[in-house]
Amino acid sequence: MQITLLRHAAAVDRSLSLPDPQRALSEKGEKQLKRLSAFCLLNDLIPSNLFASPLLRAQQTAQGLQQRLPGCPAVQTADWLIIHTTPPQFFRALGKLAEQGLDDIWLVGHEPDFSELIAALLQTESASIVIKKASLTRLEVELSARPSAKLLWSVPSSLMAVGS
């Protein structure tokens, strides 16, 4: 199974008056989303299946990408992508997707969940993995009794500049 992890773009700062699930993309996040979309278009990176956390910032990131990429499928909200998803929870959800015949998926979610998932799959410490906002990480995952993966590539948003 091929998995592309997309951490949501930058969101407005936390505040007492704004519950975390309702934090929207910031101006910086909107710029990151435009850069991400242009990078995906330039490199023919079009999701086959696009799943996103129900939190607003992840939904906005996924929907913004979907609107800008021709042929990108509709965003599917996945409650299991909400913050604090553990690697075993990811493995169960990915197994269910594999049972449905899905072998190429994009997930829009959060940290530290993605770092912990990658670390578990690569059998390393999560402290050695850093996933920046609006970055893409591609893995080839083997779902077995002991899930593992091969890191195919990882591109932080700051390296996605596609011209002026």
Domain with residue 139: its CATH number is: 3.40.50.1240
d(CA 37, CA 34): 5
1-10 tens-digit pLDDT: 999 999 999 9
Q: What is the mean pLDDT of the chain?
A: 94
Q: Is residue 164 part of a domain?
A: no
Q: Is residue 152 part of a domain?
A: yes
Other beta carbons within 10 angstroms of residue 37's beta carbon come to 20
Q: Is residue 13 part of a domain?
A: yes
pTM for this model (two decimals): 0.94
Instruction: Tell me how many domains the chain contains.
Output: 1
H or E stretch including 117?
A: helix 113-122
Domain containing 68: what range?
2-159
Residue 164 above 60 pLDDT?
Answer: no
